[in-house]
Structure formats: structure tokens, C-alpha cells
Amino acid sequence: MTTSAEHIELLANQEYKYGFTTDIEQESVPPGLNEDVIRLISAKKNEPEWLTEWRLAAYRYWLKMEVPEWANVQYPPVDFQKIIYYSAPKMKEGPTSLEDVDPILLETYAKLGIPLREQAMLAGVAVDAVFDSISVATTFKDKLAAVGIIFGSFSEAVQEHPELVRKYLGSVVPTTDNFYAALNAAVFTDGSFCYVPKGVRCPMELSTYFRINAKSTGQFERTLIIADEGSFVSYLEGCTAPMRDENQLHAAVVELIAHDNAQIKYSTIQNWYPGDKEGKGGIYNFVTKRGRCAGVNSKISWTQVETGSAITWKYPICILQGENSIGEFYSVALTNNYQQADTGTKMIHIGKNSRSTIVSKGISAGHGKNTYRGMVKIMPSAQGARNYSQCDSLLIGDQCSAHTFPYLEVKNSTAQMEHEATTSKIGEDQIFYCQQRGLSSEDAVSMIVNGFCKQVIRELPMEFAVEAQKLLGISLEGSVG
Amino acid sequence: MAEAVVHSELQWTSPQVLSKRPGSGEPVWLKNLRSEASDCFAEMGFPTRNHEEWKYTSVSPIAQTPFRPAWQQSASRPVQSAELDALKKLSGICLVFVNGQYNEALSSVQGLPAGVRAGSLASLFTTSDEIIAERFAKYADYRQHAFVALNTAQWQDGAYVWLPKGAVVKEPIHLLFISNAGDTPLVAHPRTLILAERESQASIIESYWGAGQGISFSNAVSEIVAGDNAVIDHTKLQLENDRSFHIATLQVYQERSSNFKSCSVTLGGALVRNEAHAVLDAEGAECVLNGLYLGREKQLVDNHTIIDHAQPHCPSRQHYNGILDGQSTGIFNGRIIVRPDAQKTDAIQKNRNLLLSDKAQVDSKPQLEIYANDVRCTHGATVGQIDAEALFYLRSRGISLKDARNMLVYAFAGEILERITSQKIRVLVDRVLHARLDAASRS
């Protein structure tokens, strides 16, 4: 877990170490978006009629929508006709086992540090690897199936469990929810699907690794996780993309549903390519994530470490519908160079005695712009609701900015809520103290930042926590002194 | 004149309203200013809830009420009441405005030190007074804000206070705005300009009081300029009747090492919006904005503050407490902006709310916008109810439920009241507050 100076230096010289491209034969549709492209995507995935119609309805609605502009970020308008909406590595008739997967792909994931060969894995983490528009492999499927857990790519789930997909798809994030959610509903290509049956505690961490590879493509994946009564699942998500001068769009939708007494823990390490030092290139990460605590005593917990992307625009939401349901949001968002992040959460309290906790840590360095935007809404029905929010911002350098925009709406007198926010820079005395004990100023900053984020990092599963700490160190490289 | 009833947005800016006003011996620049502001308003129109700054407050009740300009109301009936007497006792220096017009008979300027000038703004502009005129309407931005534009276009009268260099006024200067509406809803646009030259000191009370039972709308704009090292203590009391509308903008501009402190107490009104914008435009300026708001029945009280730290080394503090009962709504929107050069800024903002009934609601939006790195800014917001344990503690000592509740509510209000500098004002607000609490617990 140490982030020794040489280690950082080594990594820093590589800058963004996931910036390579994989040279593989790709099959893509021409850029542009119209009903034919959607039908084509749908046909390629051999989707049932209702899903095609669902996509088209979303598309027709999307056409009427306007690009939202309320977020505190600036970027040139995205040309939706220049994006390639489907791109996949060429494969033989759907890989049935890892042996069928193109070795180049396996190599790519090995390079990214994501082991797809089960025997090669140290810890028990089941991975669904998504490469551009399709899922290339899912590990440990059998072991999971033994306890009744369905875990795999979304396309597979559509084929094998259409009744579950149909029941839950769009039930948390309707197609009409927002501009990017509607776009995603129209063109989503793949993603992960997970169903944990009643009373099952998922024996391992589930994870999806998203990789953008092809040029000018957009990635539109959709994740749907359902935790049935009394179940538990911990899910991780990681992402990287090659270094390019162009901006690529990533607009995902994540839906979580927790039934009675169920618990979902969703962790993200977002490390899309952030653009270069001048702010050129990078991924636009416009994501809609929402969880519904549908049952009593259900719990959804979002943990995110956002270090990548040129622009991040993301608000994981918890709808606390069930009595005694719990929503949690732990976030670290770091913006360096010209990165911009407008992120936060919404906690909507509907059920009695629902509780929520928000801990958000924003770090701005270089010309970075970091905004926390969150809403806590307590509906009249939420007797005894409780919320605690804490948003801290750390400023490194005099060109960056940090903003906090919380919205508190309380319609029930028994609610208790607290919101607190602070903004400050790293104290010179703190750095001095570290330096006096022989640490370089960079190490000192990295250490202080890690301490600042500890509350969030400790919520992450072990493997991710280590990676997150390193990532923070690397992302801050060059911002001190 | 009876035909000049204004009701739609168009009619708010109709030339009739402007041209028929008395005292038309105005200088040309003022006429031009009015027509420019009028155009600005016509362009902006009333804000809707789609407007981020008006997300929680709908002004459609104002836009839809057929108000008549208050100056059209023929000579007002004499106003008398114990409450008014109490208000008038706050200070010997009291400028009284009834329905937006200066009332010389009720006013007195006893005890105003030589050199300090205070009086009716409208009559000032009939004489040419450049010191004050050239700074009029330079601070509150009518190009951005619909209600400021409306006021700038249609203001009828208001107060000016000019404190020369080094002047110290011991007694508070009281500006009392009385709205006295009968059956016809009336609108007035009081306008205040306070210029404190360097090293001057004064305490200003701005109070709004409703005499009649009718519907009135006060759309007030106050501009305050605190010169180098000037010290201004400002208190605003909003005591209009429960049917009235009140939208007020306080625009403060602070120069080097000036000290501005304000406390806004809102007790009356059906729809009240208090905006306080302070620009700290030189090093060492200090700004304190406090507020207490009580809502009952269907009242809506909206407090908006913006503290703009444009220069380094400026501290600012904000403490707003709200007590909401009945079906009332309390809104707090506080914004702290720290500009790129404003290093060493130290800003604290606190908003606390107490909900006393199931139907009352609170929307709080504290915001930080920070573009400098060497700063310390915090904000906090809480919403809660009366602590059951504290209540139990008091009751176990033989205090009735009613008294115990009142005590705790009063203590909550006390956090703000104790920050009011003038004891006289504190006592007055205290009494009004007690009367209010007693009335609430009786019903």
C-alpha cells in the first residue's frame, strides 16, 4: 500500500499508463445515429421485438430533448452524428469459453492488470470484461451459477433471462429520465447484468471492466443489478481508455434494485483517459446511476473514486423507498490539469426511518474544476428520516476551483439533517511537518491527500483501495511545487 | 386615476404608471435611468421557478395581483398604533415613509450630528446634488435582476443617508416604511441609498410595518456603500401583515477595512424574499450577515445571500436561523464566491432550521464557489425538530409542555437575537417574538 517516491515517479513518467491501443480487427457501424442504426444494433444482438421497440421509443423521445446545460462544466457541443455507436472486436460465433477469446484481447486485459484466466487469479473476483460495445468474457460463471446467481453480459441476459430483463429494465432510470439516459436507452450495446436470488450472499466480488479501444466510438453500456430479498452483493467497476486527442463520449446507465433486507455495494474506480496537460482529448463521462431501495431494511451503498475523464458528470442516486432503508454515498473526485467534474448524489427519502450518509471529498489541482452538487429530499411520508452530509474540498494550486452546491429539501418535521462543507488548501504547516521528517514535498502531499480521502477509500474493497491510493498519487503528479 | 390598475406584466411597465407619477421635475439622467430599467424589466419579465435563483419561490401571486401604485392612494389616513409607537421609540432620528412617500409630519431628525445628511431621496433629486446622485443605482444591478429593475424604473421615494468623512452617529438612524393598504392592493417601491464616507460610523434600522389589513407589495432596494474603515451596523425588521408581499434587495459595497454587519428579522408577510448581496472589494473588509425568520400558516420566507469576496484578506460570517410552523416554507440560499485573487479569505456560513409542524417545509441551498486556493470556507445547514430530550428535561422540572416548547424555540431564535448590537432593537424584537410564540401556543 506504500506509494514510494520511485514508484510514483516511475508511474508518473508513463503518465496515463492505460493509454495504449489494442490493434485488433474491429467491426463497426458507420458513424451517425438514426432509427436504422438502432435497428442494426438490436439485430446484431438478436434482441426480441419488445426491446427494439423500447429502444426506438427512447430514441424518438431523445430527439425531442435538449442537451442539458445546467452543470458547472464547459465543453464544445458534442456532435452526436459523428459518433460510432457500435464497434466490436471481430470474433468467431460468440465465444463460449475463454479458449475462444482472441489472444490479443486476453493480452490487453493482462496488460491492464485484469486477469481473465481464472487460475491466474489470486483473489476471488469474478470479472465481466467489456471491450468497446461488447462483453468479451465473464469469469467464474459456473461457480456463481451454483448458488443461483446470474452474472454476465447484458446481451446474454436478454437472450437467457428475458423475463427478468423486461421486468427491471428502465424501472429505476426510465428512458425519459434525462438526455443521456434516453440516448443510452436507444443505443446501449452491452454491459453487465446481475441477479442475486433470495437469501444468497454472493461469495465473491463481482466486477466489470470497461475498456474503450476503437477511435471515434462512444461507449454506451447498461448495468442492471437486482438483489432479491435478503441477498448481498458487492460489485466493482473499473474503466480505462487509450490516449487520443479527440474527446470520446461515455454515457452509461446503471440501475440497482434492492428488495427487502437486501444489500448492494457498488464501487467504481473511474480512470478514463483524462486528456493531456493542455486539456486536449479525454473522455466525456456522462453517467446516470440510480439505485432503488425498494424493500424494507434494504441498503444501497455507492463508493466512487473519480480520477479520470476530461469531464465527469455523474450523480449516483438512492431512492429510499422501503422502511428503514439506507443509502450511502462515498466519493473522491480528483481533477488535475484541465479536468472538470460535476458530481454528487441525490438521496430521496420516501420510506419511514430511512437514513442516508454522504461523504464527498473533492480535490482540485492544476486548472481543475471540481463541483459537488447534491440533493437530499425528505418527502412528507419519510417520518424519522435522517441524513448526514459532509463535503470537503481540497485546493492544490491557485488556478483551480472548487464549488459546493447542496440542495436540502425537507417536507417532514421529524427529519433530522445535517450538511457540512469545508474548503481549504493543504496547510503549509502540515507539509512542513512532513518535510521536517525527511519526506519530499510530493510525498507529503500524496500522504495528506490520502489521509483526506481515507474515509472514502476505506469503504472500497481491498484490491480497489490499493489501486485507488496509487491512482490518487499518480493523478496529482506534477501539481505540487 | 382609477383606471390605472396594473395587473399583467405588460401593465407593470406601462408608460401610464411612469408618466402619471407626481413630482415629475426630475433630472434627465434619472428619467433615462427609469426608462432603461423599465426596458430591462420588460425584457426579463417576472422570474419563474425554472430560474435557478427562484427554484423554490413562485412570484406568480405577485404577478397576478392587480396592484395599484401606492402613490395613487390619496392622502393616507392617520396611522396610529401601540406597535408603531414602539417602533418610533427606537430612535430620535426617524424617517417615515407611508405607502412609499415621505411623511414629514411623522418624521424627525433630532440628534442628527452636523454634516450628516438624511432625508427623502425624491426631494433630493429635485435639487442638484452631485455627490449622492452620481452614486445612485450604481450598485444594485437592474440589468440582471427583475425586481431591482422594476424598482429602479418605478421607485417613488425612499431615504438617503450621507455620512461625511469621520462622522459618528451615536443614535441609530431609523428608516420606517409603512404600508397602509385598504381594499385595493397597493404596490410601493421604496429605495434607499446610504453612503458612508471613510472612517464614518452609523447604525441603520430599516423597518417595514403594515398598518392596514389590505394587501400590499413592497419591492424595496437598498444600496449601502461603506468607505474605507467605515463601520455600518444594519438591522432590518419585516413586520408587515400576513397578506402582504415583500421583496427586498440589499446591495452592499465595501471598501478597504470597512465593517458591515446586518441582521434581518422576518416575522410578517405572505411571501417574503430578502436578498442581501455584499461585495467585498478591498482588502480587510469584514462582512456579517445574520438573519432570523419565522414562518406560520402559509407564509413563505426566502432568504438569499451572496457574499462576493473579490479581494484578499476579507472575513465574512453568516448565521441564519429559521423557525417554521403551520404550512409555512422557509428557504435559504446562501452563496459565497471567492474570486481568483481573494486569497486568505475566511468565510463561514451557517443555516439552521427548526420545523414545528408536519406541514412546514424547508429548502436550504448553501453554496460555495471558490476560485482561490489559500482560503478557509465552510458552510453548514441543519434541519430538525425540537429535541425531545431537552423537552423532557424541562418537563421533568415541572415546566408545562407549552412553556418548555416556547423556551426552546426562543433559545433557538436567541442565537441570532444575541448578535444584534443595539439593545433597544433586541428588546423590541424580543417582545414581538414572545407575543408571537404565546399566540402560537394558545391556538
E strand intervals along A397-454? 401-410, 416-425
pLDDT at A2 (0 to 100)? 37
- What residue in A sits closest to B52 (Cα-Cα)? A70
**Average pLDDT of chain B, as a whole number:** 85
pLDDT value at B433 more than 70: yes
Distance CA A164, CA A31 (A): 32
Is there a contact between B382 and A403 if contact means CB atoms under 8 Å apart?
no
Residue B14 — very low, low, confident or very high, per pLDDT cuts 50/70/90?
Answer: low
Distance CA B433, CA B157 (A): 30
The three three-digit cell numbers of residue B171, written as one number? 443614535
Residue B98 — very low, low, confident or very high, per pLDDT cuts 50/70/90?
Answer: confident
Is there a contact between B355 and A413 if contact means CB atoms under 8 Å apart?
yes
Q: B361 contacts in A (CB within 8 Å)?
A: 409-411
Of A459, A424, A224, nearest to A329 (Cα)? A459
Three-class secondary structure of residue B43 per DSSP? helix
Is there a contact between B378 and A410 if contact means CB atoms under 8 Å apart?
no
pLDDT tens string, chain A, 481 residues long: the values are 333 344 434 433 446 667 677 777 777 777 888 888 888 888 888 888 888 999 999 999 988 888 888 888 888 888 888 888 887 776 544 445 555 666 666 677 666 666 565 544 444 566 777 766 666 667 777 788 888 888 888 888 888 888 888 899 888 988 888 888 899 988 888 888 899 999 999 888 888 877 777 777 788 888 999 999 999 998 888 877 777 777 888 888 999 999 999 999 998 888 888 887 777 888 888 889 999 999 999 999 999 888 888 888 889 999 999 999 999 999 988 888 888 889 999 999 999 999 999 999 988 888 888 899 989 999 999 988 999 998 888 888 788 888 888 899 998 888 888 888 888 888 788 888 999 999 888 888 888 888 888 888 888 877 677 777 777 777 766 655 4
Do the domain assignments include residue A433? Answer: yes
pLDDT at A135 (0 to 100)? 66
Number of structural domains chain A divides into: 1
Report the share of chain B in percent with pLDDT over 70. Answer: 92
User: Which pTM value belongs to this model?
Assistant: 0.82
Distance from CA of B344 to the nearest CA of A (A): 10
Is there a contact between B375 and A403 if contact means CB atoms under 8 Å apart?
no
pLDDT at A123 (0 to 100)? 47
Distance from CA of B379 to the nearest CA of A (A): 5
Residue B292 backbone dihedrals phi, psi, to 5 degrees: -130, 130
pLDDT value at B42 more than 90: no
Do the domain assignments include residue A292? Answer: yes
Among B356, B361, B369, whose Cβ lies nearest the Cβ of A403? B369
Q: Using one digit for the tens of pLDDT, what is the confidence trace for B156-200?
A: 888 989 999 999 998 889 999 988 877 888 888 899 999 999 999
pLDDT at B4 (0 to 100)? 36
A162 touches chain B (CB under 8 A): no
pLDDT at A353 (0 to 100)? 93
Distance from CA of A181 to the nearest CA of B (A): 21
B374 touches chain A (CB under 8 A): yes
Is there a contact between A413 and B385 if contact means CB atoms under 8 Å apart?
yes
Residue B1 vs residue A136, higher pLDDT? A136
3-state secondary structure B321-337: EEEECCCCEEEEEEEEE
Is there a contact between B367 and A406 if contact means CB atoms under 8 Å apart?
yes
Contact predicate B174/B207, CB 8 Å:
yes
Q: B380 contacts in A (CB within 8 Å)?
A: 418-421
Distance CA B42, CA B149 (A): 9
Query: In chain B, helix, strand, coil percent, each to 5?
Result: 25, 40, 40
Among A380, A407, A425, whose Cβ lies nearest the Cβ of B373? A425
Do the domain assignments include residue A481? Answer: no
Residue B3 vs residue A240, higher pLDDT? A240
Give the mean pLDDT of B367-381: 87
- What residue in B sits closest to A400 (Cα-Cα)? B371
C-alpha neighbours within 13 Å on the C-beta side of residue A372? 36
pLDDT at A13 (0 to 100)? 40
pLDDT at B21 (0 to 100)? 56
pLDDT at A109 (0 to 100)? 67
Residue type, B319: H
Distance CA B154, CA B133 (A): 17
pLDDT at A102 (0 to 100)? 67
Q: B367 contacts in A (CB within 8 Å)?
A: 403-406
Distance CA B434, CA B267 (A): 12
Residue B359 — very low, low, confident or very high, per pLDDT cuts 50/70/90?
Answer: confident
pLDDT value at B374 more than 60: yes
B349 touches chain A (CB under 8 A): no
Q: Using one digit for the tens of pLDDT, what is the confidence trace for B375-425?
A: 888 888 899 888 889 999 999 999 999 899 999 999 999 999 998 888 888
Is there a contact between B369 and A410 if contact means CB atoms under 8 Å apart?
no
Interface test with A, best of B370, B375, B412 (most A CBs within 10 A): B370
Interface test with B, best of A410, A417, A424 (most B CBs within 10 A): A410
Give the mean pLDDT of B304-322: 93
pLDDT at B11 (0 to 100)? 57
Q: A404 contacts in B (CB within 8 Å)?
A: 366-368, 379
Q: A425 contacts in B (CB within 8 Å)?
A: 373-375
pLDDT value at B13 more than 60: no
Give A 413-432 residues with CB within 8 A of chain B.
413-425
Is there a contact between B378 and A398 if contact means CB atoms under 8 Å apart?
no
Contact predicate B175/B142, CB 8 Å:
no
Three-class secondary structure of residue A153 per DSSP? strand
Expressed as residue numbers, the domain containing A419 is: 5-476
Contacts of B171 (CB under 8 A, 6+ apart): B91, B92, B93, B111
b/e per residue, A98-107, with b = 16+ CB within 10 A?
eeebbeebbe
E strand intervals along B181-258? 186-188, 191-196, 201-210, 216-226, 231-239, 245-254
Q: Using one digit for the tens of pLDDT, what is the confidence trace for B123-155?
A: 887 776 677 778 888 888 888 888 999 888 888
Contact predicate B338/B308, CB 8 Å:
no
Is there a contact between B368 and A393 if contact means CB atoms under 8 Å apart?
yes
Is there a contact between A393 and B363 if contact means CB atoms under 8 Å apart?
no
Q: Residue B88 CB: number of other CB atoms within 10 A?
A: 17
B438 touches chain A (CB under 8 A): no
Residues pairing with B271 in the sheet: B245, B300
Instruction: Give the ipTM of the model, two decimals please.
Output: 0.76
Is there a contact between B366 and A406 if contact means CB atoms under 8 Å apart?
yes
Handedness of CA A115, A116, A122, A123 (dihedral sign): positive
Give B 285-344 residues with CB within 8 A of chain A.
340, 343
pLDDT at B350 (0 to 100)? 92
